[in-house]
Structure 1
C-alpha cells in the first residue's frame, strides 16, 4: 500500500470507531480481516496513524476546526508528524486509494491555525471534565504533562535475573536497538518511531528462554520500590497476568513464599505459563472459587502485600490512547470504592512490622494520595514510609530519581514528562509493631 492509501485506511478505521463506538484495537482487527491483502507493515503503519490521531484527537480537530475522522488525521499529520500543508496535500491528491484533495479551508487551517490560544484540555488532549483533576496534581504544568502522556511509548523490557543478566540480555537483542533504561537497573528500552512496528520480541531467544519480559520501566520501578526480599512471605493481591509477580519472584531469588491472586480469575489465565517460562518455583497461584476467600488461611502474617490496584489507567494513556476518550466520571467512582476495599483487605494480611506497597497506574490524586490518607485514617497502625527509604533499592540512581518524581506526604508519582515512564504512583505503608 502507498502512504496515501494507508492514510485513507486510517480515516476508514477512525470512522468505524466513531460510528460503531468500538475500541480502536477491535476496529483495526475488523479492517484487517476485511482487507487481507494488506501486509503486516501496512497494518502496523495504519495502526500507528490511528493511535497517533487518538493521542492528539482534541488538538487535531481544533487545528482543522472540524471534528471528523478526516480532519483529525490531517491535524495529526501537522501536529504529531510535523508535515507542512504541501506535504499533506501531496498525500491527499485524490488519486486511486488516496484521500480527496485538500479544500481551501483545510489548507488555510493547516497553514494559519495553531494551538496558542487553545483551552488547556485541547492543547493537552484530554477530556474537558478531567481538567480540574489534572490541575489539582500538576497545576499550571498540566498541559505539558498531558502532552507527554500523549506521546508514543517505547518498548521496555525487564531482565529476569533468575535466568540472565542485563549485559547478556542486551547483547542478545542489540540488533533491535535496545539500550539500558535510565532508572531501572533491570530495564532495557527500544525506542519506536512514528511508523515503526513493535519488534517481534516474543520470537527472540532471550524471551523464549525467559531471560526478558515486556514491562514498562515505571512498572519495574514500582516493583523494586516494594523492596521484596529473599525469604519473605509476599502476597501479590491484584496479580492479573503476573507482570509484577514475575518481578517480585526475581527479587526474592527463588527464596521465600510468593502468593499471587486476583479477584478476577480470568485475569490470572496467562500467569501460569509466564511463571514457568521465567523459571519461578516459589510462587503459588490462588484462583478464586465462588465466594470462598483464597487467602482465608493468612492472618496478619505477610511480610509484604503488593497492591497493583485496579484504576482508571490515566498513567497509561500513551499506550492506550483511546481509553482516555472513553473514560467517564462514573468509572472513577467505581475504582475508588474498589481501591479502598482492597487496601482494607491487605491490612488484615500484613504482620506487625510488615508493609503494603500500594501502586496505581493513575496520575489522579483521588486514586493515589487521597486513598492512602484515607487508609491511614481508618488504620492508624500504618504509616507512610519516607521517600528516601522507598527509593533505596534504586542504588546510585536514587538521588536523581527522587529529584525527578513528584513527591507528596503519601508517596511518589512517576510521569512520562518527569521520568520517561508510564504514570505510576507508589506508596509504601508500614504496619507498626504490636
Structure 2
C-alpha cells in the first residue's frame, strides 16, 4: 500500500470507531481481516496512524475546526508528525486510494500552529469533563503532564534475576540497542522506531528462555515498593497476568510464599506459563471457583498484600490512546466502588505489623488518595507509611526527587519519571 492509501485506511477505521464506539484494537483487527491484501507493515503503519490520531484527537479537532475522521488525521500529521501543508497535500492528491485533495480551508488551518492560549484539555489532549480532576492532580501543570501522556511509550523489560542480570541481558540484546531504565534497577528500555513499532520481543530466544519479562518501568517500581523479602508470605490480590507476581518472586529469590489470585480467572490464565518459563517455584495460584473465597485460610496472615487495583487505566493512555475517549463518568464511579471493596478485602489479610501496598495505573485522585483516605477512615488499624520510609526500604530513595508527592503516596507520570502513570501508597497495620 502507498502512504496515501494508508492514510485513507486510517480515516476509514476512525470513522468506524466513531460509529461503533469500540476499542481501536477491534476495529483494526476487523479492517485487517476484510483487507487481506494489506501486509504486516501496512497494518502496522495504519495502526500507528490511528493511535497517533487518537493521541492528538482534541488538538487536531481544534486545529481543523471539526472532529471528522479526515480532519483528525490531517491535524495529527501537522501536530504530532510535524508535516507541513505541502507535505500533507502531496499525500492527499485524489489519486486512486488516496484522500481527496486539500481544500483551501484545510490548507489554511494546517498552516497555523495550535495557539498558545488553547484550553488545557486541547493542549493536553484529554476529555474536557476530566479537567476538574486533573486540576486537583496537577494544577497548572496539567496540560504539560497530559501532553507527555499523549506521546508514544517505549518498551520496557525486566531482567529475571533468577536467571541473569541486567548487564548480561543488555549484552545479549545488543541488536535492539536497549538502555538502562533510570529508576528500576533491573529494567532495560527499547525506544520505538519512527513508525511507533517496537521489536517482536516475544520471539527473542532470551524471552523464550525466561530471561526477561515485558514490563513498564512504573510497574517494576510498584512491585519493588512491596519490599517483598525472602521468607515472607505475600499476597498479590489482583494478580492478573502475573507481572508483579513474577517481579516479587525474583525479589524473594524463590524463598517464602506468594499467593496470587484475581477476581477474574480468565485474567489469571497466562500466569502459569509465565511462572514456568521464569523458573519460579514459590508462587501458589489461587483460582476463584464460584462463590468460594480462594484466600479464606489466609486472614490476618500476610506480611504484605499487594493491591494492583482495578482502575480507569488513565495512566496507560500512551499505550491505549483510544481508552481516554471511551472513558465515561459512570465507569469511573464503578471503578471507585470496586477499589473500596478490594481494599477492605486486602485489609483483612494483612497480619499485625504487616503492610498493604496499594497501586493503580491511574492519575485521578478519586482512585488514588481518596481510596486510601476511605480505607483509613473505615479501618483505624492502618496508617500511611511516609514515602521516604518505604522508598528507602525498597531501595528507591532517589524516586522521591522526581515523582509527585500526594497526600498519601507518590504519583509517577511520563513527564516526571518517564513511566506510565502509576500511583503507589504503602500502609502499615498496627498490632
TM-score tier by shorter-chain length is over 0.9
For 1:170 and 1:33, the matched residues in 2 are separated by 37
Partners of 1:162 and 1:279 within 8 A in 2: yes
Q: Output the TM-score relative to the length of structure 1.
A: 0.97
| Equivalent residue number for residue 126 of structure 1 | 126
SS at match of 2:296: coil
Residue 420, structure 1, aligned to residue 424, structure 2:
no
Give matches, 1:83-102, under 5 Å.
Answer: 83-102=83-102
Cα distance, 1:198 vs. partner? 2.1
Residue 365 of structure 2: SS of its match in structure 1? coil
Structure 1 range deviating more: 311-320 or 192-201: 192-201
Confirm or deny: 8 A CA contact 2:226 2:394 kept in the other structure.
no
Unaligned ranges ≥5, structure 2: none
Whole-Å separation in 2 of the counterparts to 1:425 and 1:301: 25
Q: Matched residue of 2:164: which SS?
A: coil
**Higher mean C-alpha deviation, range 204-213 or range 379-388:** 379-388
Distance in 2 (CA, whole Å) between partners of 1:330 and 1:422 is: 24
Output the CA distance in 1 between the equivalents of 2:370 and 2:157: 31
Alignment of 1:11-410 (within 5 A): 11-392=11-392, 395=395, 398-399=397-398, 401-410=399-408
For the residue of structure 2 that corresponds to 1:311, the secondary structure is: coil
Contact 1:59–1:115 under 8 Å retained in 2: no
Q: Is the 8 A contact 1:299 1:349 kept in 2?
A: yes
Instruction: Detail structure 1 runs of 4+ shifted over 3 Å in the superposition.
Output: none
Offset of 1:393 from its aligned partner? 5.1
- In structure 2, distance between residues paired with 1:114 and 1:152: 20
1:374-395 deviation digits (Å, cap 9, x = unpaired)? 1111111111111112212564
Output the CA distance in 1 between the equivalents of 2:164 and 2:2: 42
Distance in 2 of aligned mates of 1:138 and 1:127: 15
C-alpha distance in 2, partners of 1:129/1:43? 33
Describe the superposition over 1:259-310 as per-residue Cα deviations: whole angstroms up to 9, x where unpaired.
0001111111111111111111110000111111101111211100000000
**Superposition pairs of residues 3-18 of structure 1, within 5 angstroms:** 3-18=3-18
CA separation in 2, counterparts of 1:429 and 1:145? 27
**Unaligned residue ranges in structure 1 (runs of 5+):** none
Deviation per residue, 1:212-262 (Å, 9 max, x gap): 111000000010011000000000000011111111111111000110001
**C-alpha root-mean-square deviation of aligned residues, in Å?**
1.1
Offset from partner CA, 1:350-387 (integer Å, 9 cap, x none): 11110000000001111111111111111111111111
1:225–1:392: 8 Å Cα contact kept in structure 2? no
Deviations 1:403-429 (A, max 9, x none): 110112301000011100000000011
Distance 2:20 2:354 in 1: 49
Displacement of 1:112: 2.6
Question: In 1, distance between residues paired with 2:230 and 2:376?
Answer: 28
Deviations 1:184-236 (A, max 9, x none): 01101011134142211001011000011110000000100110000000000
Verify the 8 A CA contact 1:192 1:198 in the aligned structure 2: yes
Q: Per-residue displacement from partner, 1:66-118 (whole Å, max 9, x unpaired)?
A: 11110000000000001111111111111222111110000000113523232
Say which SS state the counterpart of residue 391 (structure 1) adopts.
helix
Structure-2 change in CA distance of 1:393 and 1:115 (3 Å): farther
Which 10-residue stretch deviates more, 2-11 or 128-137?
2-11
The answer on whether the counterparts of 1:41 and 1:197 sit within 8 Å (CA) in structure 2 is no
Classify the secondary structure of the residue corresponding to 2:322: helix
- Which one is further off, 325-334 or 89-98? 89-98
Contact map agreement 2:307 2:356 (CA 8 A) in 1 = yes
Q: Distance in 1 between matches of 2:196 and 2:371?
A: 39
Question: In 1, distance between residues paired with 2:364 and 2:114?
Answer: 29
Check whether the contact 2:311–2:360 (CA below 8 A) recurs between aligned residues. Answer: yes
